[in-house]
Structure 1
Amino acid sequence: MLIFFVCVILLFGGYFIYSKIIDKIFGSDSHRITPAKEFNDGIDFVEMSPKKIFLIQLLNIAGLGPIFGPILGALYGPVALIWIVLGTIFAGGVHDYFSGMLSIRYKGASIPDIVGETLGCGFKQFMRVFSVVLLLLVGIVFVLGPAKLLANLSGVSTALWVAIIFAYYFIATILPIDKIIGKIYPFFGAILVFMAVGLISALMIKGYHLYPEASLVNSHPRHLPLWPLMFITIACGAISGFHSTQSPMMARCLPNEKYGRVVFYGAMIGEGLIALIWATMGMSFYHNAEALNAVLVKGGPALVVKDISTTLLGTIGGVFAILGVVVLPITSGDTAFRSARLIIAEFFKISQKQGMKRLLIAVPLFIVGFIISKSNFSVIWRYFGWANQTLATVTLWSAAAYLIKKDKLHWVATIPATFMTAVVVTYLAYAKIGFGLNLNTATTIGIVGAILSFIVFVLKFKFFKIGERW
């Protein structure tokens, strides 16, 4: 039990101490006019209260990742907790803060344009395609995931739930952001809080021993390597590139830069806490990794959620807890499609004030999404994991480039960017969806790739001062 509370204290410490350091390095300015005020269009640029924005941001970024990922990551044992805590504080929080604040500084730009401003036009064009593809994968994952949970809960077919969720996503994508997203998220937030606090409290009250296998040794039943797989598996609960596509939406609604630390870094801390709870559930409820793995083999993370929720909180309480899990992907899936619409609109310079122009983008976007949803879920999830962490890596390099250009302390972004480069390059070299090399060779390639990336980055931006804008 002590381990859990130490992790919670560290996460809060990261917010109250490290986030202030990051904010000071960036130099938030409460006197600067924000895009919400400068470009208010009543559709995507809409000024809202900081409390509401924080809640929307938390629900936007907290999809299935901080639940399914930590449940799968729990197979590795308590070492997963270290990644959740350190990743959230030194990588995820930094990533989310800069993707939001840079959007504000660049007039509400989406992540491809932010990357273009900092790393150059070539990266900008790459990111436009890469981001839309990732957002489609996110949208699909966050349709199929909650649909399966709801099907298990209600007995209604998964196909019908897929249709219902797709219909909601379509409506939420084209309506002004304050009409649906801004109104129903507070209710969803209450369910989310009940789920997180209720489950961890019930686990302790009912006498479960937290972390019975309290060892930093890799305990994965199938002996899957901790490096680099755990850092891909536990993404949204530590660092996730998907967040960089969501932060600009709230950057377009923030009334003052002084709230950026609370909204962007603070929401990441909230997601880290959710991930910590579910990793703890996976390690503690089933007593050992073999028991957890048996349930995962039988029904995947969705069955784990159902088992834990109904056992700890009873049938009715379990239903509410499962609904709390369901709202996370749903409140990320709708904004994933919305972000894709905005990125496409920026690329083709299509104004989004008129409803017909929003439909012009949304309709074909959802047709493509529906076609992709017919693919194998596990295959989609594997590609999503690598693409997600690759986007996070590029975003961190973008933040580092901005800091160097402004003669600020860039190491707060450069160090996690270098580490994540090693993660994604190693994974691509090792995984079956990549080159399928042996782990030692893949790790060597990953480390060399990270070192070369760091050297090229420093030579370009630090010594030769080559960049588009200085």
Structure 2
Amino acid sequence: MLWFLTCVAALIGGYVIYGAFVEKVFGINEKRQTPAHTKQDGVDYVPMSTKKVYLVQLLNIAGVGPIFGPIMGALYGPAAMLWIVLGCIFAGAVHDYFSGMLSVRNGGASVPSITGRYLGNGAKHFMNLFAIVLLLLVGVVFVSAPAGMITNLINDQTDWTVSMGTMVGIIFAYYILATIVPVDKIIGRFYPLFGALLIFMSVGLMTAIAFSSEHTIMSDFAVSDMFSNLNPKDMPLWPALFITIACGAISGFHATQSPLMARCMENEKNGRFVFFGAMIGEGIIALIWCAIALSFFGSLDSLQDAVANGGPGNVVYTASFGLLGVFGGIIAFLGVVILPITSGDTAFRSSRLILAEYFNVEQKSLRNRLLMAAPLFIIGGILTQVDFGIIWRYFGFANQTTAVMMLWTASAYLLRHNKLHWITTIPASFMTSVCVTFILNNSTLGFGLPMVTSTIVGVVFALAVATYVIKVSKGKGETDLADEEKPQVVTKTA
């Protein structure tokens, strides 16, 4: 219990101390009007209150990743929590802050356009392709996962019988609606309520296991276990843990979501709470589910059996009903189901906006929104027929590679403005080495090279990229797009 509470305290301290430092390095301007005011269109650019924007941001970024990832990461032991804390504070929250604030400074631009401005057109085209692929994979994962969970819940807890295909169709229909209607009609109106439910569910489960007579939080682990690899199948911790636990530590998917709320945020001073703070909130959710996975089943071998008999979804189902009973279990389980659904629809929405930005197609008219969204849903529907495990593996790698690109973009921005770039360059270098090592070593997705060789190449490649970005970006002294216009005083703040 002490290790869990220490980790939570560290995340909160990270927000207060390091979040304030990152904000100071970036340099906010409370008098500059945000895109929510300068580009207000009633569809995607809509001013919303800070509390509402925060809760929507939290739901947008928190799919099944901060639940499924930490459950799978828990198989390595309590060391997974150490990565969640360090990754969340020094990589994930910084990544989310810059992806949101650079969008604000660039008129609400999507991540490919931001990358193109600071890293060049080659990077822009790469990010356009990679972001669309990632978002489609996210959309498919966040159709299949909740569809399977809802199907199991209905078939196990009621006299009704529903097929997986039916649930996929229902969720897809909702995604189409949420993707094309104005952001404040569904997402802005209902998601803050869902965000509150998410927080309530997470705290409720943690409270239940804390006061349970049958389960004691992480009681069987020694201090040395916090820094050890305890995987029951002897799977190597490096670099797999840093791919397995993405959401909750660092996730490139968030870079595609932050611009959605950058278009709705009323003042730059709210950025630390909305972007940095939402990531810290997701980190706490990840810690809760990692602790539940490490505690509820009694041992890592039993956790491995639970995962083998139904994946992380089975762990969520078993723990929810085991800790809270039938009624509480249903509420908690539905709280988990809401997560992927509220991220899946915004994944497709982000895809629509990225395509529209790339092809310069205005999105105020319903016809144009449908034109951009239709091919995305057709491809997504086809991908739902692919095995979920395969989609999830590719999602993990694509996710972290996108995060790498966003961090290097932030480094280029800071270098061009003669600011302290190491706050993004260090995590960018680390995650670059993780991704390169993983793809070189992994025999299923990559090249199957020996671990030592893969790691050396990964580290050298990361250092080479860092050298290149520093060389071509340092001291260019560019202004932000918003700085090219006369700053205007904000008339409405949250």
Same fold (TM over 0.5): yes
Look up the match of 2:446.
434
Q: Which of 410, 419, 443 is 1:408 aligned to?
A: 419
Is the CA contact 1:71–1:278 (under 8 Å) kept in the aligned structure 2? yes
Look up the match of 1:89.
89
User: 1:103-114 alignment to 2 at 5 Å?
Assistant: 103-114=103-114
Is the CA contact 1:192–1:325 (under 8 Å) kept in the aligned structure 2? yes
Q: Secondary structure at the match of 1:352?
A: coil
Q: Distance in 2 between the 1:106 and 1:469 partners? A: 7
Is the CA contact 2:412–2:470 (under 8 Å) kept in the aligned structure 1? no
Is 1:128–2:128 an aligned residue pair?
yes
Look up the match of 2:193.
187
Q: Which of 201, 213, 217 is 2:221 aligned to?
A: 213
Greater shift after overlay, 222-231 or 444-453? 444-453
Q: Secondary structure at the match of 2:310?
A: helix
Look up the match of 1:303.
314
**TM-score (structure 2 length as normaliser):** 0.93
Is the CA contact 2:417–2:478 (under 8 Å) kept in the aligned structure 1? no
Is 1:425–2:431 an aligned residue pair?
no
What is the alpha-carbon root mean square deviation over aligned residues? 1.4
Distance 1:142 1:59, change over 3 A: same
Is the CA contact 2:417–2:477 (under 8 Å) kept in the aligned structure 1? no
Q: Distance in 1 between the 2:228 and 2:306 partners? A: 22
**TM-score (structure 1 length as normaliser):** 0.98
Q: Distance in 2 between the 1:287 and 1:201 partners? A: 18
Is the CA contact 1:213–1:288 (under 8 Å) kept in the aligned structure 2? no
Equivalences, count: 469
**1:469 CA drift (Å):** 9.4
Look up the match of 1:374.
385
Q: Distance in 1 between the 2:188 and 2:389 partners? A: 32
Q: Deviations 1:7-26 (Å, cap 9, x if unpaired)? A: 11100000111000000100
Q: Distance in 2 between the 1:458 and 1:180 partners? A: 43
Q: Secondary structure at the match of 1:75?
A: helix
**1:455 CA drift (Å):** 1.9
Q: Which of 257, 260, 274 is 1:263 aligned to?
A: 274
What percentage of residue pairs aligned between the two structures are identical? 56
Is the CA contact 2:105–2:480 (under 8 Å) kept in the aligned structure 1? no
Q: Distance in 2 between the 1:190 and 1:469 partners? A: 35
Q: Which of 278, 287, 290 is 1:276 aligned to?
A: 287
**1:186 CA drift (Å):** 2.3
Is the CA contact 1:461–1:467 (under 8 Å) kept in the aligned structure 2? no
**1:191 CA drift (Å):** 2.0
Structure 1 unaligned blocks of 5 or more: none
**1:442 CA drift (Å):** 1.2
**1:444 CA drift (Å):** 1.4
Matched to 1:143, the amino acid is V
Matched to 2:78, the amino acid is P
Q: Distance in 1 between the 2:337 and 2:424 partners? A: 33
Greater shift after overlay, 446-455 or 43-52? 446-455
Q: Distance in 1 between the 2:163 and 2:209 partners? A: 31
Q: Deviations 1:3-56 (Å, cap 9, x if unpaired)? A: 111111100000111000000100011000110000000000001111100000
Is 1:327–2:338 an aligned residue pair?
yes
User: 1:36-115 alignment to 2 at 5 Å?
Assistant: 36-115=36-115
**1:343 CA drift (Å):** 0.3
**1:468 CA drift (Å):** 11
Matched to 1:131, the amino acid is A
Q: Distance in 2 between the 1:162 and 1:39 partners? A: 35
Q: Distance in 1 between the 2:431 and 2:116 partners? A: 20
**1:409 CA drift (Å):** 0.5
Structure 2 unaligned blocks of 5 or more: 156-161, 482-494
Is the CA contact 2:417–2:479 (under 8 Å) kept in the aligned structure 1? no
Matched to 2:358, the amino acid is F
Greater shift after overlay, 210-219 or 414-423? 210-219
Is the CA contact 1:120–1:468 (under 8 Å) kept in the aligned structure 2? no
Q: Which of 294, 300, 305 is 2:305 aligned to?
A: 294
